[in-house]
Amino acid sequence: MGGGPGRQDRRGVSRRGFITSMGAGVVGTAALGARTAEASPAVVAAGETATLALRVNGVPRRVAVDPRTTLLEVLRGPLGLTGAKPSCDRGECGACTVLVGGQTRYACMMLALEAEGAEVTTVEGLLDGETLGPVQQAFVEKDGFQCGFCTSGQVMAVEGLLRKRPDPTPGEIREGLSGNLCRCGAYAHIQEAARRAGELKRGGGR
């Protein structure tokens, strides 16, 4: 049985042809990888920072952040807004609730860079100078807090609800607040504060 390196086997592919085709495939894959790498957006290297631009309570802000930094850490750290509270750090308690683009979000579960270009509202942004906003006023009137730790998150959850539903039903209030926990158990007063806040926002008077 004669035959050299180019001898055909039963499937009709020579050893030399197989090796040649594999080499071409490797080269093609490498070239494709190089083109893909060239087309990929720049990635921030470990230890480097990125510039975040956003509006917080109506004020344009720019801050250098580590890509792994959460929105909560930026608000409480370089921006000095401590109304949003760190507690569970896993999106369960709602103490860090803020509005991003008018929607309620857990700031502990959102990377700061996700808020690029967005309007962020914290509990501090509901004040009119030294005057309480309607939701804050309603919480005072209806004693919607005890220890107060969860209160800023509760207030922001109500604010977000009322922006979508100015006159919510009791069921809608319960649903809107379902993501915010109160260890003191002041839920009845919190729900009453939400109802009163709706009245104040609709012009029910103080």
The boundaries of every CATH 3.10.20.30 domain in the chain are: 44-126
> For the structural domain made of 44-126, what CATH number should be given?
3.10.20.30
pLDDT (0 to 100) of residue 204 = 58
Tell me what pLDDT residue 45 has: 60
Predicted local confidence at residue 48, as pLDDT = 85
- The tens place of each residue's pLDDT in the chain, 206 residues long, gives 444 444 444 444 444 453 444 444 433 433 434 443 444 445 556 568 999 999 999 999 999 999 999 999 999 999 999 999 999 999 999 999 999 999 999 999 999 999 999 999 999 999 999 999 999 999 999 999 999 999 999 999 999 999 999 999 999 999 999 999 999 999 999 999 999 999 999 995 44
Using DSSP's 3-state secondary structure scheme, residue 31 falls into helix
Can you tell me the distance from the alpha carbon of 195 to that of 26, in angstroms, rounded to the nearest whole number? Answer: 67
**The two three-digit tokens of residue 63, written as one number:** 């801050």
| CA neighbor of 21 nearest in space, from 11, 13, 10, 9 | 13
Give the residue range(s) of CATH 1.10.150.120 domains in the chain.
127-206
Model pLDDT, residue 87: 95
CATH 1.10.150.120, applies to 127-206: yes
**Could you please report the per-residue DSSP string of 78-142?**
TT----SPPSSSSSSS-TTEEEETTEEEEGGGSBGGGGTT-EEE-GGGG-BTTBPPHHHHHHHHT
Q: What is the pLDDT of residue 137?
A: 97
Question: What pLDDT shows up at residue 103?
Answer: 97
What pLDDT is attached to residue 32? 39
Task: Report the pLDDT value the prediction gives residue 43, as an integer from 0 to 100.
Answer: 53
Query: Cα–Cα distance between 63 and 142 in angstroms, integer?
Result: 38
